[in-house]
Amino acid sequence: MNIFICGDSTAQTYDPEKTLMVGWGQVLGEYLPGIGIQNHAMAGRSTKSFLAEGRLQRLDGLLGTGDLLLIQFAHNDENEKPERHTEPWADFTDNLAVFIDFARERNAVPALLTPICIRVWENGVLQETHGEYKDAMRTLARKMAVPLLDIYQDSFRIVSEAGEEGSKAFFMHLAPGEDPRYPEGLSDNAHTKRFGAERFAACVAERLKDSGLV
């Protein structure tokens, strides 16, 4: 059994020589020993651009019987750039259905993952993010009888429990001079350092086990 990941920058595998950024897909294998992980997540991609670039078709001949296809998008579907943007109850779910059908046609098992929350705090309260995209994904999972891993819910709980300051440790928050690659520091509330990637990958692994997918 192999696990294939289709998603965006929050799941992507990065070169540690170039950045401290780590996607959850990059470390998922650490929590699922003995299972092959093929991470095809790519930064900046939405369901629309991932399909338009033929990235799903690259799995043809690789994805097969007994394999698992993890599908997690939303961050870039929300983007207003026309090559990325989708509407949550229209082309977003239509595109997700393409991923689902692709897996099933190859006797693989598709699973939808709601997106990782974005760290947005106001007046000491963690704010909901990703609008209706996560609900559209939940509805589609029921409609198409697809396993749903609600990673948004998990990540929201983890970030909320860590608190406004403590939750910075999960994401790409760096003080000026902390890392020579980011001399002016960084305040990125969407992308994770290894600590955050590990926490969220552990959630994915736990959800996979609880659902009987692995």
SS3 content of the chain, % helix, strand, coil (to 5): 35, 15, 45
Distances (CA, A) of 176 to 173, 179, 181, 208: 10, 8, 10, 38
Kindly name the residue from 75, 167, 191, 198 that is annotated as catalytic: 191
Whether residue 78 lies in the annotated active site: no
Kindly name the residue from 80, 122, 165, 184 that is annotated as catalytic: 184
- The two tokens of residue 35 are 């299972």
Kindly name the residue from 9, 46, 49, 155 that is annotated as catalytic: 9
Residues 207 and 141 sit within 8 Å (Cβ to Cβ) = no
Amino acid letter for position 83: E
Buried b / exposed e across 38-56, counting CB within 10 Å, b at 16+?
A: ebbbbbebbbbbbbeeeeb
Cβ-in-10-Å burial (0-12, 13-18, 19+) of 136 comes to: buried
Whether residue 40 lies in the annotated active site: no
Whether residue 173 lies in the annotated active site: no
- The two tokens of residue 87 are 């509407």
Bridging pattern class, strands 171-174 and 186-192: antiparallel
- The two tokens of residue 32 are 């699922």
Instruction: Name every residue whose Cβ is closer than 8 Å to that of residue 134 and which is 6 or more positions away in sequence.
Output: 74, 114, 115, 152
List active site positions: 9, 184, 191
